[in-house]
């Protein structure tokens, strides 16, 4: 048995997981406390010339990088190249395996505004930073909230900032890719923004449902080729939705076949 195998077995021990998880949650709390005033300062200084809160949002996402480095159970990687122009707005879409998807995707070296559950915005510190970053609240099951959220997405895109949407709407319970909703794709067509698909795999073991302790995870986000929306109209929404879903599904099949991702 190799040293790597021994280390991995050790990390799977319940007591070790508990100790590491306590440490990692503590680190996350400290980082959030430190980060909040920094994000506020950046937003205040840049507000006159950065309507889209690009700088404040970019700084906010980077707290996830610091946290991951202090979490021995997690190994995150980004594969592929982000678009060369960070201010070319995209509608970014990804499959949704776990809450940790948010932490993983935030490692991308680009800023995007997240369409997120409204409840998150009421959280102390984190919710404040989401507001400072101009993320977009959504009340699930509320049609008026959905309409307002998609209008806010178009507003952010008009400020030359990308938006990030999970088109499944919620985390997949089975782990299989669920059906996509229209919102992200109708928004992309209406605004003329291209779609940037992402495929995420490996986050389900990072934080299991109904367990506060972290789990061992090698997670990866792959940046897939851009899908243009030039010349499309509202009637093309369903076709665009299914085309992008097929692209992500095909990449997920490749990722799941890779034994190095668990």
Q: Which domain holds residue 247?
A: 3-257
pLDDT at 9 over 90: no
pLDDT at 10 over 90: no
Q: Check residue 262 and give its pLDDT.
A: 53
pLDDT at 12 over 80: no
In a domain, 262, yes or no: no
Per-residue pLDDT tens for 37-90?
999 999 999 999 999 999 999 999 999 999 998 888 999 999 999 988 888 999
Q: Check residue 176 and give its pLDDT.
A: 85
Helix (H) or strand (E) holding 249: helix 237-257
260 near 218, Cβ under 8 Å? yes
The per-type count for the chain, helices as H runs and strands as E runs, is 8, 7
pTM of this prediction? 0.91
pLDDT at 4 over 60: no
Average pLDDT value for residue range 108-134 = 96
247 backbone dihedrals φ, ψ, rounded to 5°: -65, -45
Q: Check residue 11 and give its pLDDT.
A: 66
Average pLDDT value for residue range 88-110 = 95
pLDDT at 126 over 80: yes
- Rounded to an integer, what distance in angstroms lies between the CA atom of residue 146 and that of residue 86? 27
CATH number, position 245: 3.40.1130
Least confident of 25-39, 99-113, 169-183: 169-183
Bridge partner list, 207: 214
User: Into how many domains does the chain fold?
Assistant: 1
Q: Which residue has the higher pLDDT, 82 or 258?
A: 82
């Amino acid at each position: 048995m190799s040293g790597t195998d021994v280390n991995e077995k050790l990390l799977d021990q319940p007591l070790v997981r508990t100790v590491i998880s306590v440490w990692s949650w503590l680190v996350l709390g400290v980082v959030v406390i430190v980060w909040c005033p920094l994000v506020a300062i950046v937003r205040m200084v840049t507000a006159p010339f950065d309507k889209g809160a690009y700088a404040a949002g970019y700084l906010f996402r980077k707290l996830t990088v610091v946290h991951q480095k202090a979490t021995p159970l997690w190994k995150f990687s980004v594969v592929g190249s982000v678009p060369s122009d960070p201010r070319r707005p995209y509608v970014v879409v990804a499959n949704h395996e776990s809450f940790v998807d948010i932490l993983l995707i935030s490692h991308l070296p680009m800023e995007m505004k997240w369409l997120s559950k409204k409840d998150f915005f009421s959280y102390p510190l984190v919710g404040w930073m989401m507001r400072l970053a101009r993320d977009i609240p959504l009340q699930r099951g509320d049609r008026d909230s959905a309409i307002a959220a998609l209008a806010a997405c178009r507003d952010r895109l008009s400020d030359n900032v990308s938006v990030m949407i999970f088109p499944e709407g919620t985390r997949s319970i089975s782990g299989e890719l669920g059906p996509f909703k229209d919102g992200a794709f109708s928004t992309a067509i209406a605004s003329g923004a291209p779609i940037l698909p992402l495929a995420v795999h490996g986050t389900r073991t990072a934080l299991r449902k109904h367990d506060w302790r972290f789990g061992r995870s090698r997670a990866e986000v792959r940046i897939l080729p851009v899908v243009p929306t030039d010349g499309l109209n509202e009637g093309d929404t369903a076709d665009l939705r299914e085309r992008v879903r097929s692209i992500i599904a095909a990449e997920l099949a490749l990722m799941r076949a890779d034994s190095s991702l668990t």
